[in-house]
Structure 1
Amino acid sequence: MLGFQLDIKKKYELWSLVGLEPVRFSLLEFENLTGLNCEYIEDLGRPHCVVTKELTSFWEMLGVHVKAGPSTQEIIAAFERCEGWSRDDRKRLAYLAIFTGVQCLR
């Protein structure tokens, strides 16, 4: 997916070629696939988000502070210990890593 990435102007979308078709991967798709909260935050200095049980348990598996969220290094470290996780949680980790990597490139 990242190997055939298209250069676009939208900041929070990733477009790739799959065959001859362009495919979009945006925050909306990321939120739907991972179950993580990706709602718009008005004031980044004082972000307010609802911490669900699902989000709390995922952050605990990652070994990060619930309010702070994971850093890139913590996401990388989680790959070393995710072998016993459920398929859905491993998929969430993979999508989180892809999204983090894309944001680091921008």
Structure 2
Amino acid sequence: MSTPAPAGGPAPVVEHAVLRVRPRDAADFKGALAAGRRVLLRAGGCLGVRVLECIESPGDYVVEVEWTTLERHTVDFASSPLLAEWRSHVARYLVAAPVVRHYAEVGIREDS
């Protein structure tokens, strides 16, 4: 899910959100995540969404969202009705607050 930076523009930012649900809710949660993913993809500045399920810890998920800039997530999306819509799909399944961090590509090349 690595999108190159626009010519002369900043590199995209990756939001990494760790979500924890009860393993018994996993099937319903996956359906909620699918609906939530569609919401995220409608957000301005969202370049892509990837959902990962932990192999060793049932009920642990990572949602990675690629944004054009940090502000497109922390300001624009966070102040939009889409945030409430996202939460309406997934929040009821969470057993703890998500742990959210933002990352930028380091820029290490394969031939380095």
- TM-score, length-scaled by structure 1: 0.30
Q: Quick check: which one's helix share is greater?
A: 1
| Greater relative CO (CA pairs within 8 A, separation 6+) | 2
Q: Quick check: which one's strand share is greater?
A: 2
